[in-house]
A and B are shown apart, each in its own frame.
Chain A
Amino acid sequence: MTPFLELIDLDVAYPTHKVIRNLTLRMSHAGIGCLLGPSGCGKTTLLRAIAGFEPLRHGSIRLEGVELSRSDWTLPPERRRIGLMFQDLALFPHLSVADNIAFGLRDWKAAERRARVTELLKLVGLEEYSGRYPHQLSGGQQQRVALARALAPRPRLLLLDEPFSNLDVTLREGLAREVRTILLREGASGLLVSHDQFEAFAFADEIGVLHQGRLLQWDSAYNLYHRPADRFVADFIGQGVLLPGRLGGEGRVSTELGELWGTPPAGCAAGEPVEVLVRPDDVVHDDASPLRAEVVDRAFRGAEFLYTLELPSGARLLCLAPSHHNHALGQRIGIRLDIDHRVMFRQGNGEGDDAGVRWGRLLAQ
């Protein structure tokens, strides 16, 4: 079976620097995905390359087996049947809601066009607003119009460029879910670009983490959190610390918190230093445990406390504890490790330096 979307060994470059480097990505079937990454990681450029606005320096883009872009040729955006929803929405101010939605339906028969517009107005819940102009709508309503407009010509793929980022944080997740529901109801495929992991979790089935123009991992949200393929992914998704240890035989690692075992990083021999990813939910508060750590910071989260703990060696851990365990700063509390997914990295490799800085910042919070 031909994969739905294939990005093969892409290079996209500006005069000064390459933005996307040797990026390969396969979305095997139609569905809802997300490209997640910090700002400046190249995710918007990648989206624009898929839409046909950026030429490729190298590689190929295929949708449903048909090539759309290669290094010397770019199918114009208007002939790709790929929808696009922008961060600033880009609604046409001179057209009413209905006319905005009908913009991409120029070649349709009038009756069909009317029916499609009505259908979409209903889908996004704006039946009463068809005659209004964009400036007469609220932000959320404008968002829906932009979505309906992009969906109207039944695009094969809808690209969404951080369309929720100008909304209130509390609204984002809700709206991401709502858009997801609308896409599913329309049977449309979508690819979202975002820097907000919770938005990505709410919206997508599969998520790709992008960093400095490279795709680090394409996986489900669960796997990104629990089985990060890379130190950067481990850092970027969720919270946690890397606990230093030394690799023994048969995947055993001796750490300050005792002996753990797991799959050692590739090419790592016994005796080499490694680091084990410890998430806050892996550290369980247990007064009976002989392991002790000092509370150096704490953040009240309502149902739970996020404690920052310091081990005798100076290494720090994050610990999520139910909020009735109220401990003061300086207190030494008992902890125990309860790790389901043991993820190890070779010490100080890859993005290590960068990640180290970020870890430090995380812990200082």
Chain B
Amino acid sequence: MEVDPSRMPIRSDAPPREERGLGARAARIDRWTLLVVGSAVLLALPVLTVFVAALHPAGAVWRHLVDTVLADYVTDSVSLMLGVGAGTLLIGVPAAWLTGVCEFPGRRLFEWALLLPMAIPAYIIAYTYTGLLDFAGPLQTALRETFGWTRHDYWFPEVRSLPGAVAMLTLVLYPYVYLLARAAFLDQSAAVLEVSRSLGAGPWRRFFGVALPLARPSLIAGVSLVQMEALADYGTVQYFGVSTFTTGIFRVWFGMGDATVAAQLAMVLLLFVFVLLVLERLSRRQARFHHTSARQQRSPRLPLRGQLGGLAVLACLIPLLLGFAIPAGVLAVWAARTAPRVVDERFLQLAAHSLLLAAGAAGLALLLALLLGYGQRLRPRPLVRLAVRGAGLGYAVPGTVIAIGVMLPFAAIDRSVDGWARDWFGVSTGLLLSGTLAALLFAYCARFLPVALHSVEAGLTRIRPSMDDAARALGATPRAVLWRVHAPILRGSLLTALLLVFVDVLKELPATLILRPFNFNTLAVRTYELASDERLADAASFALAIVLAGIAPVILLSRAIGRARPGQ
């Protein structure tokens, strides 16, 4: 395609054109550039810290770790990744094909309901199924009572195990694969499928021979996302006693008090994440080429009747029941039983903590996202782009790693300020940053900024540069353009960004556990504590509050996929 330089956007508050080119005088640093790059570096600080800390020479603890448990961490983490990847494919792809291309009873309902498991954090579904399925749980008790068995008379799968963790994570993470696979199937040109049909391919061959290979890049992207989430999980694997990197980091950090080794473990975890990230990016890029052409007449849905229709309903109903209906139902029953005892002033205080923290983090992340998004629009130079991309990587970084990356530099700052104050004034300043809400908010921003940034950028791309120019030509000053054109168009995206970060912070567990101020509790932390004390029924009210909040973004998402249906 020919690039017409005259179509490049220019805005009046941008510096003269010659300073905006690739090479020419790019060294000139203006306020916007400085602000954007500065914020981005700050947000990348946790990851950079982990890099630097991991460079320390390996001490005795690390060697001990290598000799004893490192192999376990690797095998358990890899098994978890592979298991969850396979599981989510097995559930997500058929569900996507069925709801995207076929017609069967309840299809419209399943289309969005299949997203509901996203509302449940993995650790909560783990607690719920443990309560339901372990030896003292209602299921095994009922079995024993019915058949008169005692403990050693029967075999029952152990929930609290690696396969159990795989199952739990699969049940709440398959929607990622479902969403991406569905989008891929819907984007596939109807013509390609019709051509294969005219060449004599039946429905099975159309699926395995054409649709599935075409969707492969999207599936890889989906599975990579799922595996990143699986690697980042702490609540489930910790509860089930699975030795992954995240549990290892906690053990080294709290058990052995060795920050360097924790950072080194975090570094290894980051390497895994990095591979997945590259895989995901590459597949997404490839996926674009695989989308033959959009905006076409869709071929009519393939009707499934009789037994096939029944199977289709089952394939969609089972993940919905196991991933949402049963755990949410169980939580509701437990909560109904324990709420009168549990929901007291303390509960409300915790809820208030969670809400304030989530709202604060969401507001802060939104401001930063606006700064980065707008900065990038005003100064589209390579340095700014790179900085914004860098700041956007946080979402791939597990909360545990972020927490360590925040903890180390903040502690170092505290130490040096304290030492300096003692030397000069003879007073100890103690901990200024560590263990404060500021540290926690900073960690949330570093981790969840990309969520907000994504929404803001999506909103900004809808405002074409010609809209700015049109408004200017109609007599609006640059500031008026911002208020009269940008703000109203962006409003929806900004609200979405706020909501998404809000809910993510509400659900977040490991970073909160590590960084929260002493005696400061949130809904998520309290759920974790009660579950650790085997008070699963008591945890239900806290968990249910988180799940209910989590449904809001699912609704947003389901509306978005409803709108994105081509040809409507």
Q: Which of A84, A93, A106 contacts B469 (CB 8 A)?
A: A84
A92–B468 Cα distance when bound, in Å, is: 10
Chain B interface residues toward A at CB < 8 A: 2, 4-7, 10, 12, 16-18, 21-24, 462, 464, 466-467, 469-477, 484-485, 488-489
Q: Which of A90, A93, A103 has the most CB of B within 10 A?
A: A90
A6–B488 Cα distance when bound, in Å, is: 38
A33 interface hit (Cβ, 8 Å): no
Task: Determine whether the beta carbon of A76 is less than 8 Å from that of B472.
Answer: yes
Task: Determine whether the beta carbon of A19 is less than 8 Å from that of B6.
Answer: yes
Task: Determine whether the beta carbon of B464 is less than 8 Å from that of A149.
Answer: no
Q: Which residues of A contact B21 (CB under 8 A)?
A: 14-16
Task: Determine whether the beta carbon of B5 is less than 8 Å from that of A90.
Answer: no
Total chain A interface residues with beta-carbon distance under 8 A: 39
Known A-B contacts A40-B4, A90-B464; A150 and B472 likewise in contact (beta carbons under 8 Å): no
A81–B17 Cα distance when bound, in Å, is: 23
* 6 contacts across the A-B interface (CB closer than 8 A): A15-B17, A40-B2, A83-B474, A87-B466, A90-B469, A153-B474
A15–B7 Cα distance when bound, in Å, is: 15
Q: Which residues of A contact B23 (CB under 8 A)?
A: 15
A45 interface hit (Cβ, 8 Å): yes
User: How far, in Å, is A195 (CB) from chain B's closest CB?
Assistant: 11
Q: Residue on B with the closest CB to A42?
A: B6
Q: Which residues of A contact B16 (CB under 8 A)?
A: 55
Which residues of A76-116 have CB atoms within 8 Å of chain B's CB atoms?
76-84, 86-88, 90, 92-94, 103-104, 106-107
Q: Residue on B with the closest CB to A83?
A: B473
Task: Determine whether the beta carbon of B6 is less than 8 Å from that of A51.
Answer: no
A81–B472 Cα distance when bound, in Å, is: 10
Task: Determine whether the beta carbon of A14 is less than 8 Å from that of B17.
Answer: yes
Task: Determine whether the beta carbon of A149 is less than 8 Å from that of B474.
Answer: yes
Task: Determine whether the beta carbon of B489 is less than 8 Å from that of A150.
Answer: no
A127 interface hit (Cβ, 8 Å): no
List the 6 shortest-distance A-B pairs measured between CB atoms, nearest first: A104-B474, A15-B21, A84-B473, A45-B6, A90-B466, A44-B6
Task: Determine whether the beta carbon of A92 is less than 8 Å from that of B6.
Answer: no
User: How far, in Å, is A94 (CB) from chain B's closest CB?
Assistant: 4
Q: Which of A15, A79, A83, A152 has the most CB of B within 10 A?
A: A15
Task: Determine whether the beta carbon of B485 is less than 8 Å from that of A92.
Answer: yes
A16–B3 Cα distance when bound, in Å, is: 13
Task: Determine whether the beta carbon of A104 is less than 8 Å from that of B475.
Answer: yes
A77–B13 Cα distance when bound, in Å, is: 12
Q: Which residues of A contact B473 (CB under 8 A)?
A: 51, 77-78, 80, 82-84, 150
Q: Which of B2, B5, B474, B477 contacts A103 (CB 8 A)?
A: B474
Q: Residue on A with the closest CB to B25?
A: A15
Q: Which residues of A contact B2 (CB under 8 A)?
A: 39-40
Which residues of A276-302 have CB atoms within 8 Å of chain B's CB atoms?
none
Q: Residue on B with the closest CB to A43?
A: B6
A302–B170 Cα distance when bound, in Å, is: 67
User: How far, in Å, is A316 (CB) from chain B's closest CB?
Assistant: 30
Q: Which of A81, A94, A150, A152 has the most CB of B within 10 A?
A: A94
A143–B462 Cα distance when bound, in Å, is: 19
Known A-B contacts A40-B4, A48-B6, A78-B477; A92 and B467 likewise in contact (beta carbons under 8 Å): yes
A53 interface hit (Cβ, 8 Å): yes
Q: Which of A16, A45, A78, A90 contacts B475 (CB 8 A)?
A: A78
Q: Residue on A with the closest CB to B467?
A: A90
Bitwise interface map of A from 213 to 226 toward B, beta carbon under 8 Å scored 1, else 0: 00000000000000
Q: Which residues of A contact B18 (CB under 8 A)?
A: 14-15
Q: Which of B6, B16, B484, B489 has the most CB of A within 10 A?
A: B6
Q: Which residues of A contact B471 (CB under 8 A)?
A: 92, 103
Task: Determine whether the beta carbon of B4 is less than 8 Å from that of A39.
Answer: yes
A107–B488 Cα distance when bound, in Å, is: 20
Q: Which residues of B contact A103 (CB under 8 A)?
A: 471, 474, 476, 484
A14–B3 Cα distance when bound, in Å, is: 13
Q: Which residues of A contact B474 (CB under 8 A)?
A: 78, 83, 103-104, 149-150, 152-153
* Chain A-chain B contacts (Cβ-Cβ < 8 Å), number: 96
Q: Which residues of B contact A81 (CB under 8 A)?
A: 475
A54 interface hit (Cβ, 8 Å): yes
Q: Residue on A with the closest CB to B472?
A: A77
Bitwise interface map of A from 54 to 73 toward B, beta carbon under 8 Å scored 1, else 0: 11000000000000000000
Q: Which of B4, B22, B469, B488 contacts A86 (CB 8 A)?
A: B469
Which residues of A124-142 have CB atoms within 8 Å of chain B's CB atoms?
none
A19–B7 Cα distance when bound, in Å, is: 12
Q: Which residues of A contact B466 (CB under 8 A)?
A: 86-88, 90
Q: Residue on A with the closest CB to B20?
A: A15
Task: Determine whether the beta carbon of B470 is less than 8 Å from that of A90.
Answer: yes
Q: Which of A44, A82, A104, A152 contacts B4 (CB 8 A)?
A: A44
A247–B159 Cα distance when bound, in Å, is: 100
Q: Which residues of A contact B17 (CB under 8 A)?
A: 14-15, 54-55
Task: Determine whether the beta carbon of B6 is less than 8 Å from that of A78.
Answer: no
Q: Which of A40, A54, A78 contacts B10 (CB 8 A)?
A: A54
Given A45-B6, A84-B470, 13 more pairs with CB closer than 8 A? A15-B22, A15-B23, A42-B6, A44-B4, A48-B10, A54-B10, A55-B17, A77-B469, A79-B475, A103-B476, A104-B474, A106-B476, A153-B474
User: How far, in Å, is A218 (CB) from chain B's closest CB?
Assistant: 20
Q: Which of B4, B5, B10, B470 has the most CB of A within 10 A?
A: B470
Q: Residue on B with the closest CB to A16?
A: B21
User: How far, in Å, is A57 (CB) from chain B's closest CB?
Assistant: 9
User: How far, in Å, is B74 (CB) from chain A's closest CB?
Assistant: 51
Q: Residue on B with the closest CB to A54?
A: B10
User: How far, in Å, is A318 (CB) from chain B's closest CB?
Assistant: 29
User: How far, in Å, is A36 (CB) from chain B's closest CB?
Assistant: 15
Which residues of A7-52 have CB atoms within 8 Å of chain B's CB atoms?
14-16, 19, 39-40, 42, 44-45, 48, 51-52
User: How far, in Å, is A258 (CB) from chain B's closest CB?
Assistant: 44
Task: Determine whether the beta carbon of B470 is less than 8 Å from that of A93.
Answer: no
Q: Which of B12, B485, B489 contacts A77 (CB 8 A)?
A: B12
Task: Determine whether the beta carbon of B12 is less than 8 Å from that of A19.
Answer: no
A200–B363 Cα distance when bound, in Å, is: 52
Q: Which residues of A contact B464 (CB under 8 A)?
A: 88, 90
Q: Which residues of A contact B489 (CB under 8 A)?
A: 92-94
User: How far, in Å, is B431 (CB) from chain A's closest CB?
Assistant: 48
User: How far, in Å, is B7 (CB) from chain A's closest CB?
Assistant: 7
Q: Which residues of A contact B12 (CB under 8 A)?
A: 76-77
Q: Which residues of A contact B470 (CB under 8 A)?
A: 84, 86, 90, 92, 149
Q: Residue on B with the closest CB to A104?
A: B474
A52–B2 Cα distance when bound, in Å, is: 25
Q: Which residues of B contact A51 (CB under 8 A)?
A: 469, 473
Task: Determine whether the beta carbon of A153 is less than 8 Å from that of B469.
Answer: no
Q: Which residues of B contact A40 (CB under 8 A)?
A: 2, 4
A78–B489 Cα distance when bound, in Å, is: 21
Q: Which residues of B contact A150 (CB under 8 A)?
A: 473-474
Q: Which residues of B contact A45 (CB under 8 A)?
A: 5-6
Q: Which residues of B contact A53 (CB under 8 A)?
A: 10, 469, 472
Q: Residue on A with the closest CB to B473?
A: A84
User: How far, in Å, is B458 (CB) from chain A's closest CB?
Assistant: 14
Q: Which residues of A contact B10 (CB under 8 A)?
A: 48, 53-54
Which residues of A143-161 have CB atoms within 8 Å of chain B's CB atoms?
149-150, 152-153
